[in-house]
Chain A
Amino acid sequence: MSLVETLPASQRDILLKVDNISLSFGGVKAITNISFDIRVGEIRAIIGPNGAGKTSMLNVINGFYHPQEGTITFEGVPRPRMRPHHAATHGVARTFQNIALFRGMSTLDNIMTGRGTLMKRNLLWQALWTGPAEREEIEHREAVEKIIDFLEIQHIRKTPVGRLPYGLQKRVELGRALAAEPRLLLLDEPMAGMNREEKEDMSRFILDVNSQFGTTIALIEHDMGVVMDLSDRVVVLDYGKKIGDGTPDEVRANQDVIDAYLGVPHE
Chain B
Amino acid sequence: MSPDFLYFIETVLNGLMSGVMYSLVALGFVLIFKASGIFNFAQGVMALFAALTLVGLLTGQVPFAHLIHAIFGVEAQHWGAGMPALLAVIGTMVVMIALAFLIERIVLKHLVNQEPIILFMATIGLAYFLEGLGDLMWGSDVKALDIGVPSGGSFWWEDVTREWAAEGSDYFGMYIDKLDVTAAIVAAVLVVALSVFSQYTRMGRALRAVADDHQAALSVGISLRTIWVIVWSIAGFVALVAGIMWGSKSGVQFSLSLIALKALPVLILGGFTSIPGAIVGGLIIGVGEKLAELYIGPLVGGAIENWFAYVVALVFLLYRPQGLFGDKIIERI
Q: Per the CB under 8 Å rule, do A and B touch in the complex?
A: yes
Which residues 80-117 in A have Cβ within 8 Å of B in the complex?
A: 96, 98, 100
Nearest residue (CB) in A for B331 is: A64
B333 contacts the other chain (CB 8 A): yes
Q: Are the C-beta atoms of B333 and A96 separated by less than 8 Å?
A: yes
Q: Are the C-beta atoms of A59 and B330 separated by less than 8 Å?
A: no
> Chain A, 30-69, contact with B by CB distance < 8 Å: what is the 0/1 string?
0000000000000000000000000000010000100000
Chain B nearest CB, measured from A121 CB (Å) = 29
Chain A nearest CB, measured from B307 CB (Å) = 31
B residues engaging A (CB < 8 A)? 330, 333
Chain B nearest CB, measured from A88 CB (Å) = 14
Q: Which residues of B contact A25 (CB under 8 A)?
A: 330
Chain B nearest CB, measured from A103 CB (Å) = 11
Main secondary structure of the interface of B (DSSP, over half): loop
> Chain A, 3-26, contact with B by CB distance < 8 Å: what is the 0/1 string?
000000000000000000000010
Q: Which residues of B contact A100 (CB under 8 A)?
A: 333
Q: Which residues of A contact B330 (CB under 8 A)?
A: 25
Q: Which residues of B contact A59 (CB under 8 A)?
A: 333
Q: Which residues of A contact B333 (CB under 8 A)?
A: 59, 64, 96, 98, 100
A residues engaging B (CB < 8 A)? 25, 59, 64, 96, 98, 100
Chain A nearest CB, measured from B15 CB (Å) = 36
CA distance in complex: A59, B330 (Å): 13
CA distance in complex: A64, B330 (Å): 11
Nearest residue (CB) in A for B328 is: A26
Q: Which residues of B contact A64 (CB under 8 A)?
A: 333
CA distance in complex: A96, B331 (Å): 14
Nearest residue (CB) in B for A97 is: B333
CA distance in complex: A244, B278 (Å): 52
CA distance in complex: A64, B331 (Å): 10
CA distance in complex: A124, B333 (Å): 33
CA distance in complex: A25, B331 (Å): 11
CA distance in complex: A25, B329 (Å): 12
CA distance in complex: A96, B333 (Å): 7
Nearest residue (CB) in B for A98 is: B333
Chain A nearest CB, measured from B330 CB (Å) = 7
Nearest residue (CB) in A for B330 is: A25
CA distance in complex: A35, B333 (Å): 23
Chain B nearest CB, measured from A77 CB (Å) = 26
Chain A nearest CB, measured from B117 CB (Å) = 13
Chain B nearest CB, measured from A50 CB (Å) = 14
CA distance in complex: A50, B330 (Å): 20
6 A-B residue contacts at CB 8 Å? A25-B330, A59-B333, A64-B333, A96-B333, A98-B333, A100-B333
CA distance in complex: A239, B324 (Å): 34
Closest 5 pairs (CB-CB, A-B):
A96-B333, A100-B333, A25-B330, A64-B333, A59-B333
CA distance in complex: A98, B333 (Å): 7
Chain A nearest CB, measured from B214 CB (Å) = 20
Nearest residue (CB) in B for A100 is: B333
CA distance in complex: A98, B332 (Å): 11
Q: Which residues of B contact A96 (CB under 8 A)?
A: 333
Nearest residue (CB) in B for A56 is: B332
Chain A nearest CB, measured from B317 CB (Å) = 21
CA distance in complex: A100, B331 (Å): 13
Nearest residue (CB) in B for A59 is: B333
Nearest residue (CB) in B for A58 is: B333
Chain B nearest CB, measured from A204 CB (Å) = 27
CA distance in complex: A59, B333 (Å): 8
CA distance in complex: A16, B287 (Å): 56
CA distance in complex: A195, B330 (Å): 33
Nearest residue (CB) in B for A84 is: B333
CA distance in complex: A82, B60 (Å): 69
Chain A nearest CB, measured from B173 CB (Å) = 53
CA distance in complex: A178, B333 (Å): 19
CA distance in complex: A25, B333 (Å): 15
CA distance in complex: A64, B332 (Å): 9
CA distance in complex: A99, B333 (Å): 9
Chain B nearest CB, measured from A84 CB (Å) = 9
Q: Which residues of B contact A98 (CB under 8 A)?
A: 333
CA distance in complex: A256, B227 (Å): 51
CA distance in complex: A171, B103 (Å): 42
CA distance in complex: A59, B332 (Å): 9
CA distance in complex: A100, B330 (Å): 17
CA distance in complex: A64, B333 (Å): 9
CA distance in complex: A163, B333 (Å): 21
CA distance in complex: A111, B130 (Å): 45
Chain A nearest CB, measured from B288 CB (Å) = 32
